[in-house]
Amino acid sequence: MPPLRDDDIELFNEARKQTGITRIIAHASYLLNLGSPDKSVREKSRITLIKELDRCAALGIESLVMHPGSATGSDPAESLVRVGEESAQALEQAEGETKLLFETMAGQGTSLGSSIEELATILKSTSNHSKTGICIDTCHLFAAGYDLSTNSTYELFMKNLDEQIGIEKVGAFHINDSAKPHGSRIDRHADIGKGAMKIESFSLILNDTRFAEAPKILETPKGDDGDPLAADARNLETLKALYRKNQ
Protein backbone atom coordinates (compact mmCIF):
# COMPACT_ATOMS: atom_id res chain seq x y z
CA MET A 1 0.00 0.00 0.00
CA PRO A 2 1.40 3.43 -0.89
CA PRO A 3 2.53 5.63 2.01
CA LEU A 4 0.32 8.55 2.99
CA ARG A 5 1.58 11.90 1.76
CA ASP A 6 1.35 15.07 3.81
CA ASP A 7 -1.26 16.51 1.46
CA ASP A 8 -3.34 13.31 1.79
CA ILE A 9 -3.42 13.77 5.55
CA GLU A 10 -4.19 17.47 5.21
CA LEU A 11 -7.12 16.79 2.87
CA PHE A 12 -8.47 14.10 5.19
CA ASN A 13 -8.34 16.40 8.22
CA GLU A 14 -10.01 19.20 6.29
CA ALA A 15 -12.82 16.88 5.21
CA ARG A 16 -13.29 15.77 8.80
CA LYS A 17 -13.66 19.39 9.91
CA GLN A 18 -16.23 20.05 7.19
CA THR A 19 -18.37 17.05 8.17
CA GLY A 20 -18.19 17.69 11.90
CA ILE A 21 -17.38 14.03 12.51
CA THR A 22 -15.10 13.72 15.52
CA ARG A 23 -14.74 9.95 15.93
CA ILE A 24 -13.67 7.74 13.05
CA ILE A 25 -13.26 3.97 12.91
CA ALA A 26 -11.67 2.12 9.99
CA HIS A 27 -11.87 -1.51 8.87
CA ALA A 28 -8.81 -3.61 8.12
CA SER A 29 -8.40 -5.63 4.93
CA TYR A 30 -10.44 -8.83 4.78
CA LEU A 31 -7.34 -10.62 3.46
CA LEU A 32 -5.52 -10.51 6.80
CA ASN A 33 -5.24 -13.89 8.53
CA LEU A 34 -3.09 -13.85 11.62
CA GLY A 35 -4.41 -17.28 12.59
CA SER A 36 -3.12 -19.07 9.51
CA PRO A 37 -0.91 -22.13 10.07
CA ASP A 38 1.25 -20.81 7.20
CA LYS A 39 4.06 -18.73 8.70
CA SER A 40 4.50 -16.62 5.55
CA VAL A 41 0.78 -15.74 5.50
CA ARG A 42 0.94 -14.70 9.15
CA GLU A 43 4.03 -12.58 8.53
CA LYS A 44 2.48 -10.80 5.55
CA SER A 45 -0.71 -10.25 7.54
CA ARG A 46 1.18 -8.83 10.52
CA ILE A 47 3.23 -6.47 8.33
CA THR A 48 0.07 -5.27 6.59
CA LEU A 49 -1.70 -4.79 9.93
CA ILE A 50 1.19 -2.66 11.19
CA LYS A 51 0.93 -0.49 8.07
CA GLU A 52 -2.82 -0.12 8.53
CA LEU A 53 -2.39 0.85 12.20
CA ASP A 54 0.28 3.37 11.21
CA ARG A 55 -2.04 4.90 8.60
CA CYS A 56 -4.79 5.15 11.19
CA ALA A 57 -2.42 6.90 13.59
CA ALA A 58 -1.36 9.38 10.89
CA LEU A 59 -5.02 10.21 10.19
CA GLY A 60 -6.11 10.36 13.82
CA ILE A 61 -8.41 7.32 13.48
CA GLU A 62 -9.21 5.97 16.93
CA SER A 63 -9.90 2.29 16.19
CA LEU A 64 -9.28 -0.32 13.52
CA VAL A 65 -11.78 -3.19 13.26
CA MET A 66 -10.41 -6.53 12.09
CA HIS A 67 -11.93 -9.94 11.31
CA PRO A 68 -10.05 -12.44 13.51
CA GLY A 69 -9.24 -14.66 10.54
CA SER A 70 -9.57 -18.37 9.77
CA ALA A 71 -8.08 -21.62 11.04
CA THR A 72 -7.80 -22.90 7.43
CA GLY A 73 -7.52 -26.55 8.35
CA SER A 74 -5.49 -26.16 11.54
CA ASP A 75 -6.57 -26.56 15.16
CA PRO A 76 -8.91 -23.63 15.93
CA ALA A 77 -7.58 -23.35 19.50
CA GLU A 78 -4.04 -22.92 18.21
CA SER A 79 -5.22 -20.44 15.57
CA LEU A 80 -6.90 -18.26 18.20
CA VAL A 81 -3.66 -18.05 20.17
CA ARG A 82 -1.74 -17.18 17.00
CA VAL A 83 -4.17 -14.33 16.26
CA GLY A 84 -3.63 -12.89 19.72
CA GLU A 85 0.15 -13.21 19.71
CA GLU A 86 0.57 -11.81 16.20
CA SER A 87 -1.79 -8.92 17.01
CA ALA A 88 0.16 -8.06 20.14
CA GLN A 89 3.39 -7.92 18.11
CA ALA A 90 1.76 -5.65 15.55
CA LEU A 91 0.46 -3.28 18.22
CA GLU A 92 3.89 -3.08 19.84
CA GLN A 93 5.54 -2.21 16.52
CA ALA A 94 2.89 0.19 15.25
CA GLU A 95 2.95 3.91 15.89
CA GLY A 96 0.29 5.90 17.71
CA GLU A 97 -2.58 4.89 19.97
CA THR A 98 -5.08 3.37 17.52
CA LYS A 99 -6.96 0.47 19.12
CA LEU A 100 -7.46 -2.89 17.42
CA LEU A 101 -11.03 -4.22 17.70
CA PHE A 102 -11.72 -7.88 16.90
CA GLU A 103 -15.12 -8.25 15.24
CA THR A 104 -17.65 -10.87 16.31
CA MET A 105 -18.15 -13.28 13.41
CA ALA A 106 -21.05 -15.37 12.07
CA GLY A 107 -19.08 -18.63 12.11
CA GLN A 108 -18.99 -19.52 8.43
CA GLY A 109 -16.49 -22.20 7.46
CA THR A 110 -13.38 -22.14 9.64
CA SER A 111 -13.65 -18.45 10.55
CA LEU A 112 -12.60 -17.53 14.07
CA GLY A 113 -14.33 -15.30 16.60
CA SER A 114 -17.96 -16.45 16.42
CA SER A 115 -18.24 -16.95 20.18
CA ILE A 116 -17.45 -14.88 23.24
CA GLU A 117 -15.15 -17.68 24.38
CA GLU A 118 -13.09 -17.50 21.19
CA LEU A 119 -12.76 -13.73 21.39
CA ALA A 120 -11.77 -14.04 25.05
CA THR A 121 -9.00 -16.47 24.05
CA ILE A 122 -7.70 -14.03 21.43
CA LEU A 123 -7.66 -11.13 23.91
CA LYS A 124 -6.00 -13.27 26.57
CA SER A 125 -3.33 -14.22 24.03
CA THR A 126 -2.56 -10.53 23.53
CA SER A 127 -1.99 -10.40 27.31
CA ASN A 128 -5.12 -8.19 27.31
CA HIS A 129 -3.16 -5.46 25.59
CA SER A 130 -4.46 -2.00 26.49
CA LYS A 131 -5.07 -1.22 22.81
CA THR A 132 -7.36 -4.19 22.11
CA GLY A 133 -11.12 -4.64 22.28
CA ILE A 134 -14.05 -6.03 20.33
CA CYS A 135 -16.58 -4.77 17.81
CA ILE A 136 -20.03 -6.35 18.16
CA ASP A 137 -21.76 -7.06 14.85
CA THR A 138 -25.45 -7.72 15.53
CA CYS A 139 -26.07 -9.77 12.37
CA HIS A 140 -23.02 -11.91 13.06
CA LEU A 141 -24.06 -12.53 16.67
CA PHE A 142 -27.54 -13.60 15.56
CA ALA A 143 -26.17 -15.89 12.84
CA ALA A 144 -23.73 -17.39 15.35
CA GLY A 145 -26.64 -18.39 17.59
CA TYR A 146 -26.95 -15.56 20.11
CA ASP A 147 -30.40 -14.14 20.89
CA LEU A 148 -30.54 -10.56 22.19
CA SER A 149 -34.28 -10.00 21.66
CA THR A 150 -35.55 -10.27 25.26
CA ASN A 151 -34.40 -8.66 28.49
CA SER A 152 -33.40 -12.05 29.92
CA THR A 153 -31.41 -13.29 26.90
CA TYR A 154 -29.81 -9.88 26.41
CA GLU A 155 -28.66 -9.65 30.02
CA LEU A 156 -27.45 -13.27 29.95
CA PHE A 157 -25.28 -12.47 26.92
CA MET A 158 -23.94 -9.29 28.50
CA LYS A 159 -23.19 -11.10 31.77
CA ASN A 160 -21.19 -13.72 29.88
CA LEU A 161 -19.44 -10.98 27.88
CA ASP A 162 -18.53 -9.07 31.03
CA GLU A 163 -17.22 -12.15 32.82
CA GLN A 164 -15.15 -13.43 29.90
CA ILE A 165 -13.98 -10.21 28.24
CA GLY A 166 -15.21 -7.15 30.14
CA ILE A 167 -17.94 -4.74 29.07
CA GLU A 168 -15.33 -1.98 28.87
CA LYS A 169 -13.66 -3.84 25.98
CA VAL A 170 -16.63 -3.18 23.66
CA GLY A 171 -15.25 -0.43 21.42
CA ALA A 172 -17.89 -0.27 18.69
CA PHE A 173 -20.99 -1.86 17.17
CA HIS A 174 -21.95 -2.78 13.63
CA ILE A 175 -25.74 -2.46 13.58
CA ASN A 176 -27.31 -4.80 11.02
CA ASP A 177 -30.34 -7.05 10.71
CA SER A 178 -29.84 -10.58 9.39
CA ALA A 179 -31.22 -11.92 6.10
CA LYS A 180 -30.65 -15.48 7.33
CA PRO A 181 -32.22 -17.30 10.31
CA HIS A 182 -30.94 -17.54 13.86
CA GLY A 183 -27.94 -19.87 14.17
CA SER A 184 -27.50 -20.17 10.39
CA ARG A 185 -23.82 -19.17 10.61
CA ILE A 186 -24.35 -17.30 7.33
CA ASP A 187 -23.32 -13.62 7.11
CA ARG A 188 -26.00 -11.75 5.13
CA HIS A 189 -27.01 -8.27 6.28
CA ALA A 190 -30.54 -6.86 6.00
CA ASP A 191 -32.31 -3.54 6.65
CA ILE A 192 -33.21 -2.89 10.28
CA GLY A 193 -36.60 -4.49 10.98
CA LYS A 194 -36.69 -6.24 7.60
CA GLY A 195 -34.63 -9.30 8.47
CA ALA A 196 -34.93 -12.30 10.76
CA MET A 197 -33.94 -10.46 13.93
CA LYS A 198 -36.53 -9.08 16.32
CA ILE A 199 -36.57 -5.29 16.51
CA GLU A 200 -36.30 -5.50 20.31
CA SER A 201 -32.66 -6.55 19.93
CA PHE A 202 -31.76 -3.14 18.52
CA SER A 203 -33.84 -1.29 21.10
CA LEU A 204 -32.02 -3.01 23.96
CA ILE A 205 -28.59 -2.11 22.55
CA LEU A 206 -29.49 1.49 21.74
CA ASN A 207 -30.92 2.11 25.18
CA ASP A 208 -28.17 0.38 27.15
CA THR A 209 -26.43 3.23 28.98
CA ARG A 210 -23.26 1.14 29.26
CA PHE A 211 -22.77 1.69 25.52
CA ALA A 212 -23.94 5.28 25.27
CA GLU A 213 -20.51 6.42 24.09
CA ALA A 214 -19.71 3.41 21.87
CA PRO A 215 -19.87 4.26 18.14
CA LYS A 216 -22.61 2.38 16.31
CA ILE A 217 -22.13 1.95 12.57
CA LEU A 218 -24.71 0.94 9.98
CA GLU A 219 -23.67 -1.82 7.56
CA THR A 220 -27.08 -2.29 6.00
CA PRO A 221 -27.90 -2.81 2.28
CA LYS A 222 -27.74 0.30 0.12
CA GLY A 223 -30.94 -0.34 -1.84
CA ASP A 224 -31.63 -0.85 -5.53
CA ASP A 225 -32.61 2.73 -6.40
CA GLY A 226 -29.06 3.99 -6.82
CA ASP A 227 -29.25 6.22 -3.75
CA PRO A 228 -27.26 4.61 -0.92
CA LEU A 229 -27.63 7.69 1.29
CA ALA A 230 -31.42 7.34 1.16
CA ALA A 231 -31.15 3.70 2.28
CA ASP A 232 -28.88 4.69 5.18
CA ALA A 233 -31.28 7.49 6.15
CA ARG A 234 -34.23 5.06 6.30
CA ASN A 235 -32.36 2.65 8.54
CA LEU A 236 -31.12 5.47 10.72
CA GLU A 237 -34.66 6.80 11.21
CA THR A 238 -35.81 3.33 12.28
CA LEU A 239 -33.08 3.22 14.90
CA LYS A 240 -33.75 6.78 16.10
CA ALA A 241 -37.41 5.90 16.66
CA LEU A 242 -36.40 2.96 18.83
CA TYR A 243 -34.12 5.16 20.90
CA ARG A 244 -36.67 7.91 21.44
CA LYS A 245 -39.43 5.46 22.31
CA ASN A 246 -37.70 4.41 25.50
CA GLN A 247 -36.62 7.82 26.79
- CB 119, CB 68: distance < 8 Å: yes
What per-residue confidence (pLDDT) applies to 226?
78
Say how far apart CA 87 and CA 131 lie, in whole Å: 10
Instruction: Locate the DSSP E strands across the chain.
Output: 25-27, 63-66, 99-103, 132-137, 170-175, 177-178, 189-190, 216-218
What per-residue confidence (pLDDT) applies to 1?
81
More confident of the two residues 162 and 73: 162
pTM over 0.85: yes
Q: What is the pLDDT of residues 153-189, one digit of tens each?
A: 999 999 999 999 999 999 999 999 999 999 999 999 9
Q: Where do the structural domains in the chain lie, given as residue ranges?
A: 6-245
Average pLDDT, stretch 57-67?
Answer: 97
For residue 101, the surrounding DSSP H or E stretch is strand 99-103
Provide the pairing of β-strand 63-66 with 216-218.
Answer: unpaired
Would the pLDDT of 150 be above 80?
A: yes
Percent of the chain with pLDDT strictly greater than 90:
93
| 39 CB-contact burial (10 Å; exposed 0-12 / middle 13-18 / buried 19+) | exposed
Q: What is the pLDDT of residues 180-218, one digit of tens each?
A: 999 999 999 999 999 999 999 999 999 999 999 999 999
- CATH number of the structural domain 6-245: 3.20.20.150
The length of the chain in residues reads: 247
What per-residue confidence (pLDDT) applies to 205?
97
Give the mean pLDDT of the chain: 95
Q: What is the pLDDT of residues 89-116, one digit of tens each?
A: 999 999 999 999 999 999 999 999 999 9
For residue 99, the surrounding DSSP H or E stretch is strand 99-103
